[in-house]
Structure 1
Amino acid sequence: MCTYNGERFLEEQLDSFERQTHRHWSLVVSDDGSTDRTLLILDKYKQSLDVGRVTVVSGPQRNFVANFLSLVCRKDISADYYAWSDQDDIWSETKLEAAVAWLQTIPPHIPALYCGRTQLIDEIKKTIGYSPRFCRPPSFSNALVQNIGGGNTMVFNQAARDLLQEAGDNLDVPAHDWWAYQLISGAGGVIYYDPTPQLLYRQHGENIIGSNSGWSARWQRLKMLRQGRFSNWNDQNIGALELIRHRLTDENALTLERFKLAVSQGFFGFLVNLKRSGVYRQTRLGNIGLVVACLIKGK
């Protein structure tokens, strides 16, 4: 878990850990310099559990991406499976059980990542909707242009963590969860998207990244397209993938090359090479958005 001034909702998230039907877990918290009651709440929680069950460390204090990546790269953490957690959500009681049940079906030498849909709640825990239910298969071709699973839903095995550690924590990427989806799928790992929500994803005014559901989220994405944000994200992700290109499968390395060629072209070249690359978003509207991004970039 990564924290930063999370006193408002932290206790509810911590309580949801204790309700997990999968009982064999420990918690490592990387705090990024909280100045509110976050550390006091964590200390109280730590004292309520067995010695060694909860560990609190200092984060890099750069941004949330650096904090999560620094946590996954720590050499003093060892487990069979790893779950990322935000500070303001609420896990369903079966979240870890569902993730571990699937992960145990994958041979341990194969990188595997579990992620899924979420139930959206407001500040007072009232249900306000659900994240989109994606139906097309997870793949590197999808991961290049879209993240289908939030980091708060992700659970992965040691082989996947090995990849993340090899890539390191000194990366310039837009988001740690999108990066995990790209890297693990690109290296030939297995991705499972659970359509059954196992997490209450709290939406509030202090969210760094909120849900991508609804017309408000679509409007925000359109604004980011106009600002060239998507193009910048592509550049960041491609740069990071190039650093660990030797871990990509031959097929996915070719997909990356074709996608790089597409985003460097004008409108018609983009369309031709995008089709050749096989890159796709989950919905028809999302794929139209790719083309719009190219048109805006070309102006």
Structure 2
Amino acid sequence: MIAILLSTYNGARFLPEQLESFERQTDDAWRIVWRDDGSTDDTRSIMAAFAARIGDHRCRETASSGTHLGAAQSFLSLLPEAADADAVAFADQDDVWLPDKLARARDALKAAGNQAMLYCARQYLVDEHLQGHNLSILPGDKPGFPASLTQNIVHGNTMVMNRAAADLVARIPGPPGTVHDWWSYIVITACGGLVVIDPKPVVLYRQHRANLIGSPPSTLARAVAALRRGPGIFMTMMRRHVTQLAAHTEYLTDQARADIARIGDGLRGGVAPRSRALRCPGLKRQTELENMLFRLWFMIG
């Protein structure tokens, strides 16, 4: 059974289409575990009607509904609620899943056996009317650690984690300000898990004004967006991610522990320790332009 983890917040406008897309899945061995993050529109009544139609055993609201946690912590708080599921899939309220999304994820996860694995895929970037169908960026370099500290290349609305991966993420709380998909990617790679990126798109990802993050249409646009944001937010989150991993080293691989120690020394030190940290194999972003920007920010931030 795959648990679909759905966090809702004032999503009444697009939520019905997403719920319909769940029902169109060719793999129907799923159930929804959801919490509302403090909606003031008709979101909760839409969910209640849906649960009444398909059955409470297939659509369960958590007791923590109503308190506003923010998207990332709301999603992460759902992980312990699905501890009996074979796999968990994060679901945004405003997207539309293509019919084979869960089936492709389940097939990919079978290859992991008992090893932790995170599956994610490309998306079709569409407008609020589901028009456009531009493909999201396919990463050139393989996902891994410590590259995961520098850049999130997994799409949370396509993610499915097997039981071992979900348990790892549930054990290490995400720091304040993190994003649930990025934190999952960091934890799983730091703990020696696998990440597979399906080149086939499995989600219609709405791009609209209320998007929490959105997706850039090209690597150049991604670099320009990072440049506009500046180093402050990025370096703050890198410090928080490194500090949180350093507090839970019992779960990390030996290499990840060594990398975290070296990167932590760099973040706390001057030019020499920062230069040593940047020599950690794999501590880089996807493109040369982005990597130049990252190295500059790491040295001065």
TM-score (ref. length: structure 1): 0.91
2:9 equivalent in structure 1: 4
Q: Partners of 2:126 and 2:105 in 1: how far apart?
A: 22
97-106 vs 253-262, greater mean Cα deviation: 253-262
- Aligned CA distance change for structure 1 residues 43 and 159 (closer, same or farther; 3 Å): same
- Counterpart secondary structure, 1:276: coil
2:93 equivalent in structure 1: 87
- Counterpart secondary structure, 1:172: coil
- Counterpart secondary structure, 1:87: coil
Residues 39-77 of structure 1: per-residue CA shift (max 9 Å, x gap): 111112112213411112315412111101111123x65
2:68 equivalent in structure 1: 61
Q: Among 99, 124, 136, which residue is 2:105 paired with?
A: 99
Query: Which residue type is aligned with residue 201 of structure 2?
Result: P
- Counterpart secondary structure, 1:198: strand
- Counterpart secondary structure, 2:264: helix
Q: Partners of 2:217 and 2:235 in 1: how far apart?
A: 21
The Cα shift of 1:124 comes to 0.9
Q: Among 40, 61, 68, which residue is 2:45 paired with?
A: 40
2:130 equivalent in structure 1: 125
Query: Which residue type is aligned with residue 243 of structure 1?
Result: A
The Cα shift of 1:116 comes to 1.9
154-163 vs 207-216, greater mean Cα deviation: 207-216
Q: Partners of 1:163 and 1:190 in 2: how far apart?
A: 12
276-285 vs 214-223, greater mean Cα deviation: 214-223
- Aligned CA distance change for structure 1 residues 78 and 16 (closer, same or farther; 3 Å): same
Q: Among 192, 195, 205, which residue is 2:196 paired with?
A: 192
- Aligned CA distance change for structure 1 residues 207 and 179 (closer, same or farther; 3 Å): same
Identity of counterpart residues, as a percentage? 36
Q: Does the CA contact (< 8 Å) of 1:163 and 1:184 recur in 2?
A: yes
- Aligned CA distance change for structure 1 residues 155 and 59 (closer, same or farther; 3 Å): farther
Cα RMSD after superposing both structures: 1.9
Q: Does the CA contact (< 8 Å) of 1:259 and 1:277 recur in 2?
A: no
Map of 1:128-277 to 2, 5 A cutoff?
A: 129-168=134-173, 171-214=175-218, 217-226=222-231, 228-266=232-270, 270-277=274-281
Query: Which residue type is aligned with residue 55 of structure 2?
Result: D
1:278 equivalent in structure 2: 282
Query: Which residue type is aligned with residue 35 of structure 1?
Result: T
- Counterpart secondary structure, 1:105: helix
Q: Partners of 1:278 and 1:77 in 2: how far apart?
A: 33
150-159 vs 122-131, greater mean Cα deviation: 122-131
90-99 vs 125-134, greater mean Cα deviation: 125-134
Query: Which residue type is aligned with residue 114 of structure 1?
Result: Y
- Aligned CA distance change for structure 1 residues 54 and 252 (closer, same or farther; 3 Å): same
The Cα shift of 1:276 comes to 3.1
- Unaligned stretches of 5+ residues in structure 1: none
2:119 equivalent in structure 1: 114
- Counterpart secondary structure, 1:180: helix
Q: Partners of 2:296 and 2:217 in 1: how far apart?
A: 19
Residues 96-141 of structure 1: per-residue CA shift (max 9 Å, x gap): 0001001011112x11110122110111111152221102111112
The Cα shift of 1:269 comes to 5.0
1:78 equivalent in structure 2: 84
The Cα shift of 1:271 comes to 3.9
Query: Which residue type is aligned with residue 73 of structure 1?
Result: P
Q: Does the CA contact (< 8 Å) of 1:73 and 1:164 recur in 2?
A: no
Q: Does the CA contact (< 8 Å) of 1:82 and 1:155 recur in 2?
A: yes
250-259 vs 23-32, greater mean Cα deviation: 250-259
1:290 correspondence with 2:290: no
Report how many aligned residue pairs link the two structures.
293
Q: Partners of 2:61 and 2:78 in 1: how far apart?
A: 11
The Cα shift of 1:295 comes to 5.2
- Counterpart secondary structure, 2:141: coil
Q: Partners of 1:142 and 1:165 in 2: how far apart?
A: 21
